[in-house]
Amino acid sequence: METNSKLNSEKESGLTRESLIGLMSQMTGRAKDILMQEGAVSPVAFLVVGNKLCGVPLEFCNDREKDITKTMIKDIAKKSGAEAVITIMEAWTATAENGAFPDCSVSEMPNRRECIVVTGVSAYHKFMTMVEFSHKGERIILGDEKPFHQGFDSSFTDGIWDSPRKSAFN
């Protein structure tokens, strides 16, 4: 149940749950269009500052660079007064075999699949939309959009805000 203080703080920030989900939906649609036109989606973070979106291209080749980039985004968000961060990137997904994941990264799993991941986080909310896709010759086949509103990990956006209702930017 949401508390009055959470609702008041959310209203003061101007970014509601519905606003964040709406922005993510638009960005998911655009990411799918880019994938179909270009064959790939370059990773990017959008900082929601007031009624503006500020795009920041992301570059990383390994987990160390990913952590450095995540820290950079957190610092930029703090300095800009961002109300939310939305990331768009390609990733791998896989399902557990026999109820357990093997001791390797998802990118090394034999049943891995490619997907677009759009994640939106604020001090109050954390959402993700995933769209699996596959290649059939030169064609790209898109799967259905799968929204997640809880129970998921996002290694890139986790930690931008310490926890719901407590902003890491204060």
pLDDT of res. 166: 40
pLDDT of res. 13: 56
**56 is a domain residue:** yes
In the sheet that holds 84-93, the strands lie side by side as 52-57, 44-49, 84-93, 113-122, 126-136, 139-148
**160 is a domain residue:** no
For residue 77, the enclosing domain spans: 4-148
The predicted model scores a pTM of 0.80
pLDDT of res. 96: 76
9-57 residue pLDDT tens: 444 457 888 999 999 999 999 999 999 999 999 999 999 998 899 999 9
**124 is a domain residue:** yes
pLDDT of res. 154: 64
What is the pLDDT averaged over residues 149-159? 65
**170 is a domain residue:** no
**159 is a domain residue:** no
**155 is a domain residue:** no
74-132 residue pLDDT tens: 889 888 889 999 999 998 888 877 777 777 777 788 788 999 999 998 888 889 999 99
**166 is a domain residue:** no
**165 is a domain residue:** no
CA 34, distance to chain mean position in Å, is: 17
pLDDT of res. 18: 92
Number of folded domains that form the chain? 1
pLDDT of res. 56: 92
